[in-house]
Amino acid sequence: MHAAKLAQDLREELNYHNHRYHILDDPEISDSQYDALMGRLQEIEAANPEFITPDSPTQRVGAEPLSSFREANHLVPLLSLGNTFDDNGFLAWYQRVNILLEEASFEMVCELKFDGLAVALTYEDGVFVRGATRGNGTVGEDVTLNLRTIRSIPLSLPKHAPKRLEVRGEVIFPKSKFEAFNTERISQGLTAYANPRNTAAGSVRQLDPKITASRPLDIYIYGLGYAEDIDLTTHWEAMEFLNELGFKVNRNMLLAQSPQDVLDYYRKWVTLWEQLDYGCDGTVIKINRFDYQRHLGVMGREPRWAIAYKFPATQATTRLREIRINVGRTGRINPYAVLDPVDVNGVTVRQATLHNEDNIKTKDLRIGDWVVVERAGEVIPQVITSIAAKRDGTETEFAIPKICPTCNHEIVRAQDEVAHFCPNAACPAQLIRLLEHFVSRSAMDIEGLGISQSTSLLNAGHIKDVADLYNLTAKDIVSIDRFGEKSVANLLAAIDASKSRPFSRLLVALGIPLVGVEVADLIARHFPSFETLIAAEEKDLVGIPGVGPKIAGTIISYFSSESNRKVVEKLSAARVAISVDQKQNLTPTALTGLRFVVTGRLANFSRSDIVETIKELGGTVSASVSRKTDYLITGEDPGSKLTEAETLGVTIISETEFTAMIDQNSATPLT
């Protein structure tokens, strides 16, 4: 037989046996027989390098170590899930979906939630070409060479696979193999790893693929990112298709017809998950139909069409050694517990939040107490209770100090407030936290500036308030640690790019208490500049739907500070967008004063997209039809809102008519 044909036959045979062993867990040949086949293929490819193909089993390992990972852009965002921890939270999510879909019932897919590392795998013409981590959901790290070493990831797909395909999965470290892996490390005098989840994530991010290959990682595929030229209508159908293509799909799934089916599934696995050979911290519920998913859309970085129902928190007992405080960006004094290190479900916990002094007193927590610590999912650990029976009399009570530990200013507690504050706006601790918030993704989105770099710039005297960021020079930045020439250029470019962020993002970035993304959007629509906002009175602010007296009070208090107004002046001098630009200022007139209700599934908008579009153009969106409704926008399968609109004489328009309305940049009523 010709060498090329023999190599091809061996590749197909090895891929077949690899699938049976790593995907189906049903091998047909022994390990020694598999190794013999691999040896023959390696000999042929060594003698004939031109026969080597990207999907050859011999190419899983062998690449040279990388100096760093490249960025990988996700064509479709790799989103995170919202969480719930009880039945009421799930049922509230179900009710919200029910209202948005206007359907009495809908199918849901229940799955186990893997505790590993989320990745996206891309195939072109049936060949695995790229693997990437989640990253920030839009941009991850290219870890293709490392993922190729995981034998449950097929390097090639059957001929009927889509021309271009991306699937999402979770890399895991099986618990049974993790124990053996740690035993081997200990025998070699090495430190044992803490838990399978972190070890899986760290293994995928090794710069040397050979290190990744030495670790028995596995993967489960849990979703479809995108597929060209294939018509799949449901998530369940997609998972069956991915299974047919040879991907490892977890079969512990359920097609649920009702909320009770979901709750029964959860109750089953909350008692069985510890028997699984992989990390599992809850269940995932997804709306089955893809058109329903598109209609529901995304809120922030979380899809409205899916939710994670986490298993109960894990608790452990340890000693509370100290209570310390830190100062937040608003001056809030935050007490936290310093604990004897304790393992809580594979994670070593050394600190836990205590919230405020009242919480400490209510729980009667004392320094030196034995306490119960809880960690639910990925949230910050917290102290649940003290164990008074174990006290020996050496324990001491805690009180918030009278003086700020950072600036020595007197700490105050406002009437009717549970928290204490340092009122000194120049407090360095507040500025560091404010800088962290100011550069964050939901605010000015300036990459490359972390707490350590901010602290160095602050200590060097280069930054005295957030506006000073825009006066930094290359000389200022290069003078602090961990900044090379390229990093300096990237940071300066990111700072310059942030000047054109929308006015509402700057409002968020300033850290005004209670002013988050949604409130900032509301304010920017009514007060499109700092000049108009600073001049606003409380009655002007509370006149905005969604802005109450507390929010109005924090805004007025913020701008009554001379130092805060000086920051605004410095931002203006640096040419940061301190008002809605001319284009933005014009568009809100398109739908100003108009009230919309949306019903049915739309072809070109998700629910979140059309709501955001209406708001951006100055309109408002209501959940129900009333005599105050100006337009009802209808899509496919409209619900009872259509009948209500007809009864009340509300103008009913199609998605096409709505698009024409905004394209004309006019609010002229349609007939």
In CATH, which of 1.10.287.610, 3.30.1240.10, 3.90.580.10, 1.10.20.10 is domain 3-60?
1.10.287.610
Spatial separation of the C-alpha atoms in residues 365 and 320, rounded to whole Å: 9
Which amino acid is residue 535, in one-letter code?
A
Q: What is the model's pLDDT at position 586?
A: 38
Give me the DSSP letters along 124-149.
ETTEEEEEEE-TTSSEEEB-HHHHTT
Fold of 428-498: DNA polymerase; domain 1 (1.10.150)
Question: What pLDDT digit, counting tens, does each position of 557-579 carry?
Answer: 889 888 888 989 999 999 898 77
Q: Report residue 65's pLDDT band, with 50, 70 and 90 as the boundaries.
A: low
Res. 61: pLDDT tops 70: no
Res. 669: pLDDT tops 90: no
The angle subtended at Cα 226 by Cα 223 and Cα 231, nearest 5°, is 95
Question: Does residue 425 or residue 463 have the better pLDDT?
Answer: 463
Question: Does residue 54 or residue 554 have the better pLDDT?
Answer: 554
Q: What is the model's pLDDT at position 664?
A: 62
What's domain 503-580's superfamily in CATH? Answer: 5' to 3' exonuclease, C-terminal subdomain (1.10.150.20)
Q: What is the model's pLDDT at position 583?
A: 43
82-310 under CATH 3.30.70.600, yes or no: no
* Residue spans of alpha helices (H) in 215-258: 235-244
Fold of 314-390: OB fold (Dihydrolipoamide Acetyltransferase, E2P) (2.40.50)
Spatial separation of the C-alpha atoms in residues 411 and 327, rounded to whole Å: 11
Q: What is the model's pLDDT at position 417?
A: 75
Domain ranges of the chain: 3-60, 82-310, 314-390, 428-498, 503-580, 587-663
Q: Are domains 503-580 and 587-663 of this chain identical in fold?
A: no
Q: What is the model's pLDDT at position 584?
A: 45
Question: What pLDDT digit, counting tens, does each position of 78-107 carry?
Answer: 988 888 989 999 999 999 999 889 888 899
Question: Does residue 553 or residue 166 have the better pLDDT?
Answer: 166
Q: What is the model's pLDDT at position 67?
A: 66
Taking alpha carbons only, the member of 355, 353, 387, 354 closest to residue 369 is 387
Of 410-419, 469-478, 582-591, 647-656, least confident by mean pLDDT is 582-591
- Tell me the pLDDT of the chain averaged across its residues: 85
DSSP-assigned letter for residue 411: P
Taking alpha carbons only, the member of 273, 257, 153 closest to residue 204 is 153
- Mean pLDDT of the region 199-210: 88
Spatial separation of the C-alpha atoms in residues 85 and 347, rounded to whole Å: 19
Taking the model in full, what pTM does it have?
0.64
Q: Mean pLDDT: which of 9-13, 53-57, 170-174, 478-482 is highest?
A: 170-174
CATH node for 587-663:
3.40.50.10190
Spatial separation of the C-alpha atoms in residues 671 and 657, rounded to whole Å: 10
Question: What pLDDT digit, counting tens, does each position of 129-144 carry?
Answer: 999 999 878 888 999 9
Question: Does residue 669 or residue 367 have the better pLDDT?
Answer: 367
Active site residues: 113
Q: Mean pLDDT: which of 27-41, 397-411, 426-440, 613-627 is highest?
A: 397-411
Question: Does residue 379 or residue 134 have the better pLDDT?
Answer: 134
Spatial separation of the C-alpha atoms in residues 626 and 624, rounded to whole Å: 7
Res. 260: pLDDT tops 60: yes
Q: Report residue 442's pLDDT band, with 50, 70 and 90 as the boundaries.
A: confident
Q: What is the model's pLDDT at position 670?
A: 41
Taking alpha carbons only, the member of 317, 331, 298 closest to residue 406 is 331
Question: Does residue 645 or residue 346 have the better pLDDT?
Answer: 645
The continuous run of DSSP H or E covering 641 comes out as: helix 640-648
- Mean pLDDT of the region 7-15: 79
Cα 117–chain centre separation = 13
